[in-house]
Amino acid sequence: MPIYKTISPEDCTSIYVWKIEESMDELRKGLTLNNRSIKRLEGMRSELHQKGFLSVRQLLQHAGYTDNDLSYNTFGKPLLKDGKHISITHSFNFSAILISKKEAGIDIEKNRDKIVNIHHRFVNTNYDSLSEEDLVKQLTVIWGAKESMYKTYPYGGLSFHDHIGIDPFLFDEGGSSGRVIFGDWKKEYNINFQFFKEGFTLVYAIEKV
């Protein structure tokens, strides 16, 4: 079954996760791509990225949308014609989309040791808190949470380190709170995360209203 997981954290929010195991031909089946998407697909040198792109279109179709329902603003933020918010993520052999009536973002990351070496770039000790739990997984949650909140901002220019924060959390709680404070954009978010047995972390942020 191509759909790896479906999550409905709220009535107005749906998340669909795809585990990529198909060939390129299998991923193209049943899809109608517009000229813009065909050009983007052909410009990708990595088959991994091509598969991620196609799996996202399969997820869109599963959610009841077509390729023509999706566009992007000048800063690369995806938009849906019906006005709902959409967020897209892809990492190695996983992809996911989130569709919501609220501002929301999603990110999936492979748990990798190298994140420890760059944590100073996105962890701000004035706003973020580290515990004694598994450091790689913990930092991956923080990165994923900040990436998810970053994706809700439509204009670009945010700093993970300076403008986005996440409150302390424990793995068994599966969630936390976060915020983006940048100019007139001051929003609070519910943060949720899950660990996949394949060594990936899924994080999503939904605006508190």
How high is the pLDDT of residue 127?
A: 65
55: left (phi over 0), alpha (psi -120 to 50) or beta: alpha
Q: Could you report the per-residue pLDDT of 103-142, keeping only the tens digit for each? A: 999 999 999 999 999 998 999 876 666 776 789 999 999 9
Third-level CATH fold of 3-101: Ribosomal Protein L22; Chain A (3.90.470)
Q: What is the mean pLDDT of the chain?
A: 94
Q: Which two tokens stand for residue 150?
A: 């970053």
Closest CA to 100 of 193, 11, 190, 201: 11
Q: What is the C-alpha to C-alpha distance for residues 8 and 100, in angstroms, rounded to an integer? A: 10
Domain boundaries of the chain, sorted by first residue: 3-101, 106-207
pTM over 0.85: yes
What totals of helices (H) and strands (E) does the chain contain, helices first?
6, 11
Angle value at C-alpha 52, between 46 and 55, nearest 5 degrees: 140
